[in-house]
Amino acid sequence: MLILGLETSCDETAAAVVAEDRRILSDVVLSQIEDHRPYGGVVPEVAARAHLEHLDRLIGEALAQAGQPLSAMTAIAATGGPGLIGGVMVGVTTAKALAMVAGKPFIAVNHLEGHALSARLSPGLDFPYLLLLVSGGHCQLLAVEGVGNYRRLGATVDDAAGEAFDKVAKLLDLGYPGGPAVERWAEGGDPSRFSLPRPMKGRPGCDFSFSGLKNAVRLLVRDLSDRNELTDGDRADVAAGFQAAVAEVLADRSSRAMTIFAERHPESRRLVVAGGVAANQTLRRSLARAAENGGFTLTAPPLRLCTDNAAMIAWAGLERFRLGGQDGLDFAPRPRWPLDPGAVRLGGAGVKA
């Protein structure tokens, strides 16, 4: 079984071919960072135009690298949402056209499910497991009980962690993209110099909040700037303090989720972290300590599978397809698509997916 996957939900244009035995035969990703850098963030129209311009070529490259023609694909999968609707439309429309021309099934993949299942591209991860999904637009703790079977334990009530990283990078003028920039600057900083809040830490439930922390950084930067010109040392220390606060909060919330998850699934002790922010090494170390303290093992996809990519979309499509799932050509792209519609909330009542 071979699946061609397409990813166009934000600012990466990607195509990949994945086999049923977990081999990634090709994984082509075109970053739009330089297109969006002048604006300090992703511009939806610019992203959609770039997807439209490059996707066909990347599909050809992915098939060539895999050494397989389109006719050899078992099915065509594409991100159907959530995401920037213009970009999602480009990927879905292209996948539908390929499926119709080649006479292959079409599979619309929830982008969040792509992240949720990405760790299963490495062997040895069985259901169920606890997932911390942390990215630019999403911050959730979920019990992953099977393909299409997710129970949300907690979610952010305001900003996602990745969004906060981007805003803090902009406040400190660290460059774009914000997450990697904050991590680079934090390496040379003192995380204990400034006292920053740890929102929701120690509170019941498993929900997150990062708007208060982001605002505390904004006020701190304003205060430092009013006293003197902001130095590189100030920037590094603020970045380090912010990063440490986020890591501490995520570890605390995950620890509470591990307790809840273990009550429901005493046979499983696996914590998986996925999403773009999962590439942050300070976060990984903090979660590894929390997992060890809770009697869990931390699992994370390879760094290249943490950020948006088409291999995870192909794999999620493959997991769905071998269970009989596919979609009609009348599927409508979705700007919002909860991973757990109607699911029972076990540990919290987060209001933002």
| pLDDT tens, residue order, the chain (353 aa) | 999 999 999 999 999 999 999 999 999 999 988 888 888 888 989 999 999 999 999 999 999 999 999 999 999 999 999 999 999 999 999 999 999 999 999 999 999 999 999 999 988 899 999 999 998 788 999 999 999 999 999 999 999 999 999 999 999 999 888 999 999 999 999 999 999 999 999 999 999 999 999 999 999 999 999 988 899 999 999 999 999 999 999 999 999 999 999 999 999 999 999 998 999 999 999 999 999 999 999 999 998 899 899 999 999 999 999 999 999 999 999 999 988 875 444 444 333 33
Residue environment code for 299-310, b if the CB has 16+ CB neighbours within 10 A, otherwise e: bbbeeebbbbbb
Report helix, strand or coil for 109. strand
Residue at 164: amino acid letter: A
What whole-number distance in Å separates Cα of residue 78 and Cα of residue 219?
A: 42
Amino acid identity, residue 71?
Answer: S
Give the containing element (helix H, strand E) for 311.
Answer: helix 310-321
Look at residues 120, 121, 15, 123 and name the one whose alpha carbon lies nearest to residue 77.
15
* DSSP one-letter code for 30: E
Listed in sequence order, the residues at least 6 apart from 232 whose beta carbon sits closer than 8 Å to its beta carbon are none
Residues 6 or more apart whose CB falls under 8 angstroms from that of 215 comprise none
Find out whether the peptide bond into 128 is cis, omega within 30 degrees of 0.
Answer: yes
Q: What is the pTM of this model?
A: 0.92
Q: What is the pLDDT of residue 311?
A: 98
- Burial of residue 294 (CB within 10 Å: 0-12, 13-18, 19+) is buried
Task: Tell me the residue ranges of DSSP E strands in the chain.
Answer: 2-7, 12-19, 24-31, 75-81, 106-110, 129-134, 139-146, 149-155, 270-274, 297-299
User: Closest by alpha carbon to 200, among 143, 241, 239, 257?
Assistant: 257
10 Å Cβ neighbour count for 122? 13
Instruction: Spell out the domains of the chain, with CATH numbers in brackets.
Output: 2-118+304-321 (3.30.420.40), 126-300 (3.30.420.40)
Instruction: Note the pLDDT of residue 297.
Output: 96
pLDDT of residue 56: 97
* 65 touches 21 (CB < 8 A): no
Instruction: Give the full edge-to-edge strand order of the sheet including 139-146.
Output: 149-155, 139-146, 129-134, 270-274, 297-299
Give the integer Cα–Cα distance in Å for 333 and 87: 10
Do residues 109 and 103 touch, judged by C-beta distance below 8 A? no
Provide the pLDDT for residue 342. 58
| Cα radius of gyration rounded to whole Å, the chain | 20
- Cβ–Cβ < 8 Å for 37, 181: no
d(CA 201, CA 255): 11
Please give the biggest Cα pair distance in the chain: 67
**pLDDT value at position 82?**
94
C-alpha distances (whole Å) from 16 to each of 12, 28, 88 are: 13, 6, 16
- CB of 178 closer than 8 Å to CB of 167: yes
